Structure 1
Amino acid sequence: MNGVPSPVAGSIALSQTSASQASLPSASLSSDGIAAASVLPPVQLLTGLGLAVAGVVAFSLRPVIIKLAYRYNVDPVTLIMLRMVFALPFFLGMALWSGARKGERGPVSGRDLALTIGLGITGYYAASFCDFLGLRYVSAGMGRLLLFLYPTIVVILSAMFLGKRIGLREVVALVVSYAGVALVVWSEVGTGHPNFMAGAGLVFMGAFLYSVYLVGSSRVVQRIGSMRFTAYAMTAACLCCILQFAVLRPLSALDLPLPVYGLSAVMAVVCTVLPVLMTAEALRRVGPNLVALSGAIGPVAAAVFGYVALAEPMGWLQLAGAALTVAGVMIITLWKTA
């Protein structure tokens, strides 16, 4: 699975991440993929790579914007609801448009619809909420780095539930990735928020839930189409966030400074909707191999944004740990399976 959480976001972005990527959990940068990229027209190659990088960078802004919004004393329940309210019209439009696309027409079975809703709630509502909660206590760069671990979690879950064999390559990648995270955590323990470890645990839980979504979604995507799956899953997640706010908060919680609404709109459009669309178009133009390669920019971009916008520390231990984690994830994401 590539490292764009558009998603993914991705998230991944997410980072994210779009469901187009969810249907490619084992994408690898093989020599065939590199050769195929080398024969693409230059304009198509540059445009596709530009879109992929832009999607990663846009998603990487999300933790920084969340941290900026928290400066206005908005709580996570309200903030994630505002993000989803601004994003919902786009995904409703995407659902209508995808239903008319050639190849994604026709009814969706009740079973596939239920699976899509359940996976959307898991991967886009529950995972995002854990991320929002955790970012109260960890830096933006740390949060993005922990989310970037999701391909390693996918490998473990696939071995446990899908019978996928974990080879030497995966073992090396897991050791390198988590050694990098341990180094970053060790460098920040005692220097950040008193609840730093709880925050890191919440963000990691978000990465785990997003990995569950990826592992569970690939076959559903094949049946109903990637764009329609993403639209339905995101719509379900948006409605969950709105319902959660209606149950847990009074309307007076919306009496917030205007910048909170502006930041929420930016988070919805720039950090959620645009990465989905840009990554989907990049996949169409250059394929998953090169899109996967661009995912390595995510943690670096988040760390730089955090340093510039939030004055977060960026010492050599954080950089070394981030480099190890990115290297480990890239081993899983990009190397051709033996």
Structure 2
Amino acid sequence: MTTTTTRQSSFIGGVLICLLGAVCFSTKAILVKLAYRETSVDAVTLLALRMLFSLPFFIISAIASSRKADNVKFTISQWAYVALIGCLGYYISSLLDFLGLQYISAGIERLVLFIYPTLVLLMSALIFKEKIKTKQWVAVLITYIGLSIAFLGEITFQGTHDRDFYIGSLLIFACAITYAMYIVGSGRIIPQVGAAKFNSYAMSFACAGVLIHFFITSKESLIGLETDAYLYGFVMAVLSTVIPSYLVAEGIKRIGSDNAAIVGSVGPVSTILQAYIFLQEPVFALQIAGTILVLIGVLLIGKKK
């Protein structure tokens, strides 16, 4: 096999890995909505179950990455930074996401959350003084026009200006903001310590943060819950948390972050289709049109010359 053929095979494999990772990630909203529908579990308890089942995988991975020959030891400031960024991206962000999904559809949740690349762009400009090009401003405009159209379609379908819909949307938007902050922050430390090690430790801190939050604020117990609650928590942990986090990391390693972001654009489409199949959520013209515009905007931002 020639070097060119090997590279092509690796690239195709990377695309497929990223595609599978994006689809797995997109199942999270579906599983959350199903858990709310079929169990009496609340958002904080469900999130705690997800992180409880995820934590052992990330701890094992963190230990393994620290034992590698090329391991870079964290400084005290890096420990604090990883803990802060991890909790911001997968504790606070996940909590806002789970709370928001109590009020809005899985399809709208994914569309609102998927605007985070535009927020990353704006944060990078404000914090690190990176210049935003005209093409990128156009992309931001297209993205938010698409989101507005999808919102209009949702409101029109509901036939009412439901207060819960706006509360849920604001919670998911706040989730997108905190996740964008995580992306911006992680982009500064990953080159120093490595993606796999950062992901393992950041997720471990996030899991710990969620569990501490649960034990302090909740009157519920994680023992004696409905069997279905444990089932959804475990499937969510493995299928839409642990597996996709490492699939995407491997995909980025093979095809680069820009190409991985483009492949990841299948996420909202996957969520909408799964919501239609498993949740019987309707798919209407304005939602499709809005989704297309959001995807176009995000792809324009992700594309480099």
**Same fold, TM-score > 0.5, yes or no:** yes
Instruction: Structure 1 unaligned segments of length 5 or more: list them.
Output: 1-37
SS in 2 for 1:172: helix
1:193-213: CA deviation from partner (whole Å, max 9, x where unpaired): 540011011001001001111
Task: Tell me the equivalent position of 2:81.
Answer: 115
Question: 1:69-218, aligned counterparts within 5 Å?
Answer: 69-71=35-37, 72-105=39-72, 107-189=73-155, 191=158, 194-218=163-187
Question: Using the alignment, how far apart are the partners of 1:289 and 1:250 within structure 2?
Answer: 44
What is the aligned counterpart of 2:256 among 287, 297, 303?
Answer: 287
Question: Using the alignment, how far apart are the partners of 1:207 and 1:95 within structure 2?
Answer: 26
Question: Using the alignment, how far apart are the partners of 2:220 and 2:154 within structure 1?
Answer: 37
Task: Tell me the equivalent position of 1:270.
Answer: 239
Task: Give the letter for the 1:86 counterpart.
Answer: F
Quick one: structure 1 residues 222 and 76, their matched pair in 2 at CA, closer, same or farther if it must change by over 3 Å?
same
Task: Give the letter for the 1:146 counterpart.
Answer: V
Question: Using the alignment, how far apart are the partners of 2:21 and 2:225 within structure 1?
Answer: 29
1:144-180: CA deviation from partner (whole Å, max 9, x where unpaired): 1111111100000011010001110111000000001
Task: Tell me the equivalent position of 1:28.
Answer: none
SS in 1 for 2:119: helix
Q: CA deviation at 1:244?
A: 1.1
Quick one: structure 1 residues 141 and 61, their matched pair in 2 at CA, closer, same or farther if it must change by over 3 Å?
same
Q: Is this contact kept in 2: 1:84–1:241, CA < 8 A?
A: yes
Aligned length: 298
Task: Give the letter for the 1:270 counterpart.
Answer: L
Q: CA deviation at 1:313?
A: 1.2
User: Between Structure 1 and Structure 2, which shows a larger proportion of helix residues?
Assistant: 2
Question: Using the alignment, how far apart are the partners of 1:323 and 1:254 within structure 2?
Answer: 44
Q: CA deviation at 1:223?
A: 1.9
Task: Tell me the equivalent position of 1:332.
Answer: 301
Q: Is this contact kept in 2: 1:91–1:231, CA < 8 A?
A: yes
SS in 2 for 1:138: coil
Question: Using the alignment, how far apart are the partners of 1:230 and 1:252 within structure 2?
Answer: 28
Quick one: structure 1 residues 110 and 253, their matched pair in 2 at CA, closer, same or farther if it must change by over 3 Å?
closer
Q: CA deviation at 1:307?
A: 0.6
1:17-74: CA deviation from partner (whole Å, max 9, x where unpaired): xxxxxxxxxxxxxxxxxxxxx8654432332111110000000000000000011121
Question: 1:216-295, aligned counterparts within 5 Å?
Answer: 216-252=185-221, 254-295=223-264
Task: Give the letter for the 1:143 counterpart.
Answer: E
Question: Using the alignment, how far apart are the partners of 1:96 and 1:295 within structure 2?
Answer: 28
Identical pairs, percent? 36
1:52-106: CA deviation from partner (whole Å, max 9, x where unpaired): 100000000000000000111211110000000000001001110111223324x
TM-score (norm 2): 0.93
Task: Tell me the equivalent position of 1:45.
Answer: 11
Question: Using the alignment, how far apart are the partners of 2:217 and 2:233 within structure 1?
Answer: 19
Task: Give the letter for the 1:104 counterpart.
Answer: N
SS in 2 for 1:63: helix
Task: Tell me the equivalent position of 1:56.
Answer: 22
Question: Using the alignment, how far apart are the partners of 2:84 and 2:8 within structure 1?
Answer: 41
Q: Is this contact kept in 2: 1:187–1:318, CA < 8 A?
A: yes
Question: Using the alignment, how far apart are the partners of 1:135 and 1:251 within structure 2?
Answer: 20
Q: Is this contact kept in 1: 2:45–2:220, CA < 8 A?
A: no
SS in 2 for 1:313: coil
Quick one: structure 1 residues 102 and 332, their matched pair in 2 at CA, closer, same or farther if it must change by over 3 Å?
farther
Q: Is this contact kept in 1: 2:49–2:222, CA < 8 A?
A: no
Question: Using the alignment, how far apart are the partners of 1:324 and 1:39 within structure 2?
Answer: 35
Residue 301 in structure 1 maps to residue 276 in structure 2: no
Question: Using the alignment, how far apart are the partners of 1:225 and 1:102 within structure 2?
Answer: 13
Q: CA deviation at 1:186?
A: 1.4
Q: Is this contact kept in 2: 1:292–1:334, CA < 8 A?
A: no
Q: CA deviation at 1:224?
A: 1.9
Q: CA RMSD in A?
A: 1.6
Task: Give the letter for the 2:273 counterpart.
Answer: V
